[in-house]
Chain A
């Protein structure tokens, strides 16, 4: 991890937030995935295996649709050979435009354009082979579009503060647009979400339901 990387949170949620909303607002909710969702994974797992097992992505999607991957801010060219040894942040994106997109594309032919980055210092290895490490995943653009509804439908674990920030930035649309919000099984007024989350620390589970 770089010094300024946010420490990946472990997913031990105290609060569950269930949001019922019309399908037209799903794309708005997907924006939350860019802020990072929390997983626990066994140390040493490959990026590929992590995406398959924990995000339930199929091999074809990983190979062809996810064209840009960063682990702790470093581009990943070989998701099969790159292993998650320590608390990590993973960012997933489709192919990006322009020279930047070409330079940072997975195993792309313009990757020389990003040379001279110091090799990332490996994180401390876990001595126990079955140790679990926290992994924060950010999904951007078409990746979020493709997998976001499924992830949110199953429920994602994320930092309460990050979700509050997201909610505050979109509350003018979400509060009147929501069909209902349940916090730990109790229905609350959507306008109460921000106040209630202000009192919440650590991680929460956010789950969406969109009828139809």
Chain B
């Protein structure tokens, strides 16, 4: 993984590819790599869909190795949804394959002169760029099927659906999983639209003839990986809860806490929660011959995913995540798992962010376009997006645009990106992260509950009033670091509880790269990434006013606990004091 592949898509010439050494980007991976390239090379004031923007696709520092859980791939650019820097990451096979092919990043640059589509084939022999107009407006599933028929079943793919081609703000970049299905997505921020603007429909990766990346110290690496895997398997969250029920195990519990945004963030409890819970979902999957436990990439030990079959026992989609079940379920008053799974399938096929689309349908329901709870109408609205009708174009632009078009005040966005499935009034510290992250409202931006272990900012007293600010800051730093390794964030719980598992992760990085990283170095990496991102956003025109939740979170109390968001603007402005 010692080179960067740059693909110039035009407009002055036909698409060309060249490789170059890592140069200034040595030591970066995943989010660190995407943000470093975007921050340095993309003019912050450029149009996100113009030739000056770049789409960077980067595996993590440990991707392509035998390290467990190292299969996340980062996709970065200037976001057409937020207008700021963006990193969205995904599971699936591409991170491992791209890393084994030796690439630390693919950078898509420029823009074709004409409205043409291309596919890029990358294997050990090099790179080929070919016209792909035959794939125009095909869904991700059909696209991948066609690519398999052309290149064989051993490939993995990075593709966009019709939403990306139509340059919708809610569009994703899809990654294929172990079954070569386009069911994993770098979903947030409209990264699919940027790939669409470059005229790239698909990147096909084939690692035949390559081997796993070798560690500098193979014995130490193997030993650390073994300890790491054992730690994950022995922990109740990563070894039991997530494998058994997936992330949707959260539905019952978040609902019980009164923090489950329901009916477009009106209240914190949903009567139908039990019917769409992870427990019910797992039973349904098993009964129909699907799978309640399944990995999204080779080397996944937690296996929090699954396979969802329809009533007739045929594959419909991968197991919808908690965020998806919430967004299309409780947030829209829908308590039918089959409808939610269908919405997930449509989102994956069109290439749409399930959080953004669920939040958008919730806003549309509030606007009167459908009744809350009307699953058929919700499906119909998402189909409008896939077809690109005028209404579909509005909805595909996300909750912010939809709220403006239909005059809705209750629009749950920060930096124009929809909030995920935890109401910030009930989990105030999460609200600090939603408000201040460089990414727009994003629960994963402050997800790595390892901050205390890393000693980021010292050990925070959880009972201090200022704890939320400190914790959010520390979590964002820790998350930026983990996102750079290519490790799945779900390792966080085992790392939090088990010092030896945490140490094993550091040992793996050190043994692989021949480094002597300490927790302080990991922290410094996280801070460096955040500073780059923050600086880009400031140059793009972002300021304190953008680090705020919408007003109604301060004025509308949220049941059942009747709370409002109470963190002051002054406190929010202090998050980046590091």
Contacts and interface: CB of A to CB of B under 8 A. Distances in A.
Interface of A: 2-5, 27-28, 30-31, 34-35, 65, 67-68, 70, 73-75, 91, 93-104, 108-118, 138, 140-142, 144-145, 166, 169, 173
B244 A112 contact: no
A93 B252 contact: yes
B551 interface: no
B85 interface: no
Given A115-B468, A118-B561, 16 more contacts: A70-B256, A93-B253, A96-B250, A97-B247, A97-B250, A98-B443, A99-B433, A99-B446, A100-B257, A100-B422, A100-B427, A112-B429, A113-B467, A115-B467, A117-B426, A142-B240
Interface string B452-466: 100000001111110
Contacts of A111: 462-463
B563 interface: yes
A99 B424 CA distance: 12
Interface of B: 236-238, 240-242, 244-245, 247, 249-250, 252-254, 256-259, 267, 269, 274-275, 277-280, 283, 287, 422, 426-430, 433, 443, 446-447, 449, 452, 460-465, 467-468, 471-472, 475, 490, 492-493, 496, 559-563, 566-567
B430 A113 contact: yes
A141 B465 contact: no
B212 to A, nearest CB: 29
Contacts of B257: 70, 73, 75, 100, 104
Contact of B252 (A95, A118, A141): A141
A67 to B, nearest CB: 7
A100 B430 contact: yes
A141 B561 contact: no
A99 B253 contact: no
B241 A94 contact: yes
A108 B449 CA distance: 11
A3 B560 contact: yes
A117 B566 CA distance: 10
Given A31-B274, A113-B427, A113-B428, A96 B283 contact: no
Highest count of chain A CB atoms <10 Å: which of B247, B429, B562: B429
Give the 5 A-B CB pairs with smallest separation, nearest first.
A113-B429, A112-B467, A102-B449, A2-B560, A112-B462
A2 B561 contact: yes
28 contacts: A2-B559, A3-B560, A5-B560, A31-B274, A31-B277, A34-B279, A75-B257, A91-B253, A91-B256, A95-B241, A97-B241, A97-B242, A99-B422, A99-B429, A99-B449, A100-B253, A100-B254, A100-B257, A101-B253, A103-B430, A111-B463, A112-B461, A113-B429, A114-B426, A140-B249, A140-B253, A140-B279, A142-B244
B447 A98 contact: yes
B449 A73 contact: no
Contact of A34 (B252, B447, B475): B252
B434 to A, nearest CB: 11
Highest count of chain A CB atoms <10 Å: which of B257, B422, B428, B452: B257
Contacts of A5: 560
